[in-house]
Every structure is written in structure tokens, then in C-alpha cells.
Chains A and B, each alone.
Chain A
Amino acid sequence: MKFLDEYRDGDLAQQLAREIHRVTTRPWNIMEVCGGQTHAIVKFGIDEVLPQQITLIHGPGCPVCVTPLEMIDKALDIAARPNVIFTSFGDMLRVPGSTTDLLSVKAKGGDVRMVYSPLDAVKLAEQNPTREVVFFGVGFETTAPATAMAVFQAARIGLKNFSMLISHVLVPPAIEALMASLNCRVQAFLAAGHVCAIMGYEEYPPLAAKYRVPIVVTGFEPLDILQGILMCVQQLESGRAEVENQYSRAVRRAGNQPAQELVGQVFKIVPRKWRGVGEIPASGLGLKANYAAFDAELKFGVADRHVDEPADCLSGLVLQGQIKPHECPAFGTRCTPEHPLGATMVSSEGACAAYYRYRRHN
């Protein structure tokens, strides 16, 4: 397939792997931030072609996985109410809350629908004026513009029966929180290419300088990831800590400015809880006061709910890169995609799901 097969070429991958072997002289820990990259690494077996000295640490960049338990519980509460049409992206539907998940709410009679775009939810609200349509706005900077556009459109046409349960999170504060933690082993980052396609990468040079870490904006195909790793290792080996852009076919330094403006118009930066990690200051997006009418937490009175996370799910440590998924005692036994303890085992981008799906035999 055009624009895809070129980046999955086996011979070129081997060439890049050989070059990484050539330049690596010492052990290095590199974190890929995005869950999409984690899946590509495990699916294509990228870590198997790397030198043993290089350890890839799987980062927190899976929006489904970091959505806190209490937010899932709020979604389940709202979705179970009569007269509500609860809409969500597909991979949120199976994520377990404290007692159930959205697919089970649907099975019990809740009107839960999968949509491909937040604008589909706006359309549903227009078509069903007597019902409350709620969209579960989850994701990183990548999906924030689409969510913002939906709120903007709903406001423009004066929809009263549309609201959003917002759980948007931001990548740079998460990187900062990881680097600031005492037991951080990460020495370089592959930054998430799609996030940077929207936001650019001007936020990263101060982080690279402050923590002396190379940050390479990286794509999602095998050759992208191998090249990103090579660029990280070259910096590490030569003692540099700079921001570089491997994914230049999609990412500009300043990002997509109209998208950023729209996000800025609708959202403000708020503290946000991350599942398994805890609250990170200034790490999320919330609706601005003039869009508060679209805030489902206020509309349905669920804003004050707090839920503790189960102790036997170690997804927090997985998301911080402190353990590998298979090092969790529950992995593959008490926790499987059919009976997940945490979101990392459910989401198509979750590290535990990737290991379960592709690596169980090791």
C-alpha cells in the first residue's frame, strides 16, 4: 500500500538495525511515549532486531489506558440513564470501570453507540432533539481538535441536548512528571508523531535541556521507529540532548496552528488524574467557562465522584515504564483481554494487550 509499504521494507529495516548495532557502545533506556508505537514495536518485533544494550520502555501514551477509573465510572453512570444516548470511540467500550463496562451497560439496555468522530455525536443530537446525547471525549492532543470542533459546532447551532464527558490529556506534562520522578530510568524519548503533527514540538527543547534527554519526534511505522531509535542512540553516544524530528513528512515545528487555535478557544488547561499515575498538574484539557453548558459532568451531577483504583492492577507501573507487562503477577492469569483488571490490557494501544497478543509464548 502506498505511503505504508515503503516504511515496512524488510531490507531497509535490517540496514537501520545494523547501523544501530554499529553505533551502540553502552546500555541505553529509550521510552516510546505513544501506545501506537508500542504496538508497532511488538507487532513487527522491532525490539528483537535491536542490540541487547538497548531497552525500550513503554510509555503512558495510550489515551484509553490513562483515563482514570473514576472517569470510566462517570461514563457508566451517565450511559445507564434513561433518555441518554452515550457515544464513544470503539476502544473505550470494553474498558472496565469499578464494576462493569460500557458494552455491558449496552447489553442491559443502555443506549451506547460507537462513533467514528465527535461530529457524528453532534449529528445524533440534532436528529434526536428529545434525548440527551453525550460524547466521551478521550485522547491526547491528537483528538482534541476534533472534540473542540464538535463543541464549537454544537454551540454554533445552539444544541441544548448535547454534552461531553471530557478526559483529554497532554503529553509534555506527562514527560516532565516522568523525568522528575526519582526512579526514572529513561535516558531518551521517542515523542509521539501524531501529537506533534497537531502541536508541533516547540514545547520540547526546554524539557530536553532541563533533564538532559534527547527527544526525537517519531512516526509509527517500523522504519520510522528504527530511525527514531538510531537518532536517539547517536545523540546519547555523542553526549547530546537535543530535539530532532524524524517524522518530518507529517510534523512541522509549529504544528497545525488552526487546530491549536480551535483547541485554545474551547479548552483551558486543567490538572488531570492519570490512571495508575495520579494527578499531574496542568496535564489535561477542560471546557472553558463559556462552554460549560456542554460539560456532561456538570449536566449529570457526577463531577464530585472519586474512586480508588484496584491494588492488584500494576498498570501504573507499566505506564511509567517501571515494569514490563509480563512482570505483573496478574498478567495472563487473573488479567486477560477477556477479563481485564486494567485498561492497559484492553485498549488496542495498551502495552499489556500488546504483550498478551503478540508475546505470550516468551
Chain B
Amino acid sequence: MEINPACPLPIQRYPHVLLAHGGGGKLMHQLLEYVFGPAFSNPILDTRHDSAQFTVPPPGRVALTTDSYVVRPLFFPGGDIGSMAVHGTVNDLAMSGARPLYLSCAFIIEEGLPMETLWRIVGSMRDAAQRCGVQIITGDTKVVDKGKGDGLYINTTGIGAIEHSLTIAPQTVQPGDAVIISGDLGRHGMAIMTVREGLQFESTIESDSAPVHKSVLQLIEEGISVHCLRDLTRGGLASALNEIAEAAGVKIAVEQKAIPVREDVHAACEMLGLDPLQVANEGRFVAFVAPKDAERALQILRNQEVSAQAVLIGRVVENAAPLVTIKSAIGASRILDMPSGEQLPRIC
């Protein structure tokens, strides 16, 4: 079913979301009937029950994750809050090696949000869910007073089926493991920052927001010994590696030269004094795999579009006090630290 780009007729009478659209009465019913219902339609959702009922395929092990999306602006180059809310939760499931199945979806809408904006975002969620092969099977809508929200917040919870018998967790990480990232870094964070702050560069930096579960499932299907996976969202590669080093009690060493950063992202980061390794991504992950499988893992990842630029960036060195080091361009080694709070552009 193609979603009509124009708002459905009864909704058109209300160009903006009103408090009553969350009030449980006729207007809310219309919202469900004409906006959410048709966009997300599937047999489970269509029962319109208070809770969704489903069975998971054998062996019955599941992964559950939840995330709230508060990105501003709602639309940014390369994506929007809707597609991001689907991709982000799908990716969190993928980090357990789970096959994403179902999502729940809760909207907190600020009174006065243009109905057309909501309509576009719902359409984008529908497209993203379809692309990821997941169904949105239950949801909730609340409308808050004008000024009490930032347009729109979305929470999604995801359930995925774990069909493998690996233990994908920091505790499985071992000395010698290859550290692989699935592509270039820093695009989402810089896309948002350039739009939010009105910075103008010659080219538009687009977010890397994308689902990565197919790449991960392919690794598992091909029998790669995947020890740990982590998506490189807030805090970027630097945070992810430090968290894993901390939880696994290992030292990780990576090479600056091996880490791909697109030229425009690099330039924007240099200008603002930010480190691309600490900037958020929405379609990138790091994989720790057994050394014997490193080369094959790279080939498998490179066969998938979303991870076509996968590279080996370093190794787990030893069981030691948790530490991440990076070899600089001139060959000296230093700490790669977790960012402290929000990254703030410098004076000069």
C-alpha cells in the first residue's frame, strides 16, 4: 500500500495537533483511524487490542530493547526522527545478533505540531519498518501542552529473535580479537550539528542513519565467531570502545590511520574542534571477532551496502586494566578517552 502524501480528509480539518487528539475521544480515534492505523497496518496491530499478542519462532530466545528519540530538528539531511526511531531500535536488537521482529511505538506530541509534519514522520516510519522487515504492533499517543515538548518525541521498543547460540557480550572479548568498524564515522552527529547551528559548508553532510541488522545476521549465518557488537551512537567509537574495555577488562589498541572519516566530516570537525571518533553515528557498529575470522568477516560486511566500507582498525591487546589507545598519524600512541559530557565547539 502506498501512503498518500496528502493528509486524509477528516484530519485535514485540523491542520495542527490539538490536546484533544490525545484525549481519548473522537479526535484521537480519528488519528488512530486515519494516520497510524493505515500506515502501520498488520494483522497484530489491526486487532486494536490494548496489548499485542504474538508468538516468537523457536528456539524462543528473544532480545528486548527500548530507546527514546528526541532529535532536533525533526527532519535532517539523510533522515528524520521517524526513520531514526525505527533504525535505532532495530540496530540495538542487531547488537545482540537478534533478528528484529516487532516494534512498539509511543508518540509524545506537542500541541500545535503541524498535522502534515506528523503525517510525513509516520510515513517515514512505515517505510523504514518495511525496509527493516519489522512490524509495528502496538503504540500509544499522548499530546502535551504547547511549550512542554519539542514538537515530537518518539519511543520505540523492539523485540527480536535470537537464533544463534553465541554469547555476544563484552565478557566474551578476548586478547587477540580483531576490532572491525562497519564504515566511516561522524556523519550523523555532524549532519545534526550543521543543521541545528546553521553552519554552512560547501557540501551537505548527510546522516548515516540506516539499519545494520542484515550485515550482522550475515556474519552469524556464515559462522563468524562474533564476540561482541556495539552500535556507535552517542559518544561515538571512543565511548563504545571504552565501555567494552571497561566491561571486559581488556586493553584495546586502534590505529588512527585505519579509521575512515569522510573529508567533509573531517573538515567540519576540525573547524569546530571536535573529534570525529567521539561524534554520534546512526548506522555504524564495531564488531569484535576471533582473529582467525577477521578477513572473512570483512569480506562478508563489505558485501552489504550499509557496511561496504568495513575496515579492521585494531586489536584487543591483553587482559589488563581497561584502556583504549590509539596510534597517531605520526606513530606515537595515546589514550582514546570517552568524551566528557556534550562536545562543545572551541573558541579558536
Contact = CB atoms under 8 A, between A and B. Distances in A.
B347 to A, nearest CB: 4
A210 interface: no
A357 B238 CA distance: 12
Given A357-B337, A361-B335, A8 B346 contact: no
B335 A358 contact: yes
A190 interface: no
A45 B335 CA distance: 10
Interface string A123-143: 000000000000000111011
Nearest to B338: A357
Interface stretch (A71-79, A90-98, A275-283): A90-98
B130 interface: no
B178 to A, nearest CB: 23
B333 to A, nearest CB: 6
B199 interface: yes
Contacts of B330: 8, 10, 13-14, 44-46, 49, 222
A48 B335 CA distance: 14
A42 B197 CA distance: 30
Interface in B331-346: 331-335, 337, 340-341, 344-346
B332 A48 contact: yes
Contacts of A36: 348
B334 A91 contact: no
B346 A90 contact: yes
Interface residues of A, number: 44
A8 B329 contact: yes
A337 interface: yes
Interface stretch (B43-51, B92-100, B263-271): B263-271
A42 B333 CA distance: 10
Contacts of B347: 63-64, 89-92, 138-139, 143, 349
Per DSSP, chain B at the interface is loop
B177 to A, nearest CB: 20
A358 B275 CA distance: 13
B204 interface: no
A10 B346 CA distance: 26
A63 B335 contact: no
A114 interface: yes
Contact of B346 (A91, A338, A360, A361): A91
B328 interface: yes
B105 interface: no
A358 B324 CA distance: 10
A157 interface: no
B332 A46 contact: yes
A107 interface: no
Nearest to B336: A358
Contacts of B323: 361
B213 to A, nearest CB: 32
25 contacts: A1-B266, A1-B267, A10-B331, A13-B331, A43-B334, A44-B329, A45-B333, A63-B347, A90-B347, A91-B344, A91-B347, A92-B347, A114-B345, A116-B197, A116-B345, A139-B348, A142-B348, A222-B330, A338-B340, A348-B273, A348-B346, A349-B346, A357-B337, A360-B337, A361-B335
**Nearest 5 A-B pairs (CB), nearest first?**
A45-B332, A90-B344, A13-B330, A337-B340, A90-B345
Interface of A: 1-2, 4, 8-10, 13-14, 36, 42-46, 48-49, 63-64, 89-94, 114, 116, 138-140, 142-143, 194, 222, 337-338, 347-349, 356-361
Given A44-B328, A64-B347, A142-B348, 16 more contacts: A1-B267, A8-B330, A36-B348, A44-B330, A45-B332, A46-B330, A46-B332, A91-B345, A91-B347, A116-B345, A138-B347, A143-B348, A222-B329, A338-B340, A348-B346, A359-B335
